Homo-oligomer: A and B are copies of this chain.
Amino acid sequence: MKPTSIKDIAHMASVSITTVSFIVNGKAEQMRISKKVIERVQAIIDECDFVPNQVARSLRTGNTKTIGLIVEDISNPFFGSIARKIEDKAYKKGYKISYSSTENDPVKAKELIEMFKSRQVDAYIIAPVPGIESDIKQLLAEKIPVVIFDRNLADLEVNFVVVDNFNGTYMATKHLIDKGKKNIAFVTVDVHVDQMNNRFYGYEKALEDHRIPYNERIYSEISFDSNDDNTNAQLMLLFKKNPEIDAVLFSTNYLAIKGLGVLKQINKPINDDFTIVSYDDHDVFRLHTPPISVVDQPIEEIAERIIDIVLHELMSGSKSSAKHEISKITLQPHFIER
């Protein structure tokens, strides 16, 4: 059973294809097609549940009404929540989202961009991995709207929405220092994207500003691809070998969650003598006993800014090749003391 096409409708209504097309696209008035015809055709359209074939339309018009979303991992609540918000807003404007997870793999990321390109998505929202600068540059050269978020790519003239990571860890570290902590460990991931670097710099600077020497022994870098056992072993080692640690700052929520697991396992209590802080909030931290303080990223706002920029470019940007205003947005994280 072939789906009905515009041709079928035209035939049934005994009008031309053109007429149907105008009616379908709401240009009937403008084209001054008679009310009677409009009504008659519309009735037939409703009757047949006719929905125009978007693929054909895309081929003709060149836009697919689809936005490509490339993140690290859609199952991570941070990205999931953003995806959700973006979807909502885009949907209201008639856009759909196609997503893909890069797993921080530049090769996969490149493939994904290629794939989206062949599918002619109208715009891209990307949480970039290192090494795709050139691909993004290419997109830009083709005047395709792009917004990157979460991480910035320093030398690229592209829209971005990021959070002030430096300030986030600075606040967190300062908080710990103010609490009298002297040996604050820093646990991070070995993905040296801009935002991770800044989180480290914030920590380092806060130590420096308070004349606490940076101690390499209590800095731990977990491999992104590390499996659970390895990660746990590495964290355990950190705690065992450095009993002087009186606080830990985790640079991502999933590391902090792993850390809590390890601490539980080795029966190391969290209290006034041993505090932990996570970057990125999570239900776990709120409900933990005792509750865990966090650096919270304004997820809603991030998503909103992203989709606003995208939709704005999609509306105005492409038609007028006017001055290409680039949006560079840095939002402030909040330190939530618990």
Chain A residues with a Cβ under 8 A of chain B: 1, 3, 51-56, 58-59, 64, 66, 73-77, 80-81, 83-84, 87-88, 91, 96-101, 114-115, 117-120, 141-142, 257, 260-261, 264, 282-284, 286-289
Contact = CB atoms under 8 A, between A and B. Distances in A.
B91 A80 contact: no
Contacts of A119: 54-55, 66, 96
A87 B58 contact: no
Contact of A87 (B101, B114, B117, B283): B101
Copies of this chain, whole number: 2
Contacts of A74: 74, 80, 83-84, 87
Contacts of A88: 101
A288 B257 CA distance: 11
A282 B66 CA distance: 32
Contact of A75 (B52, B80, B283): B80
28 contacts: A3-B142, A54-B118, A54-B120, A55-B58, A55-B59, A56-B59, A59-B59, A73-B84, A75-B77, A75-B80, A75-B81, A75-B83, A77-B77, A77-B80, A83-B99, A84-B101, A96-B100, A96-B115, A96-B119, A97-B99, A98-B99, A99-B99, A260-B287, A261-B287, A264-B287, A283-B284, A288-B289, A289-B289
B286 A287 contact: no
Nearest to A96: B98
B120 A55 contact: yes
Contacts of A75: 77, 80-81, 83-84
A57 B1 CA distance: 21
